[in-house]
Amino acid sequence: MKREEVKFEYDVFENSEELTESDAALMDAARKVTTKAYAPYSKFLVGAVAKLVNGETVSGTNQENASYPVGICAERVLLSAASMLYTDVAIDTIAITYHNLNGESSKPVSPCGMCRQALKEYEERTGQPIRLILAGMTGKVFIIERSTQLLPFSFGGADMK
């Protein structure tokens, strides 16, 4: 038997003021877009804003539904909008944040498993790593250089051949 290890590194900033000007602006835009989330059940408003390689930005918010499986996360709303509005244009960076109306919003949270898979597919399709900036409304900020780092042993198109 052989034991192997999977790990990755990410950057931790104490707050948004430590970010570069462009990263701080993208996170600020994500924080603002949380107000457009439709989350009447969870009261957990998620906003995501992407900077595309062509300089354009696209945003998305979570959209809940009384029939919970019908809802969709902010990240997948963003990816759908980006692929529709800017077909085959790669995403450089996505800032993802949340506003928890029932509690704290002061630490980074990461995309769910379904969104991780969708991010992986988008990266694979465009051939461009997607950098993630994760934060709450305040507090620490995480920067992950490739979204695929969040999904080791991922499943993709190559597995179906």
Residue positions annotated with a catalytic role? 75
Candidates 88, 91, 90, 40; CA nearest to 62 is 40
Q: Write out the DSSP string of 92-151.
A: EEEEEEEEETTS---S-----HHHHHHHHHHHHHHT---EEEEE-SSS-EEEES-GGGGS
Rounded Cα distance between 1 and 130, Å, is 35
Regarding beta strands 91-100 and 131-135, do their DSSP bridges make them parallel or antiparallel, or are they unpaired? parallel
CA angle 114, 60, 14 (to 5 degrees): 85
Q: Sign (positive/negative) of CA torsion 43, 108, 18, 127?
A: negative
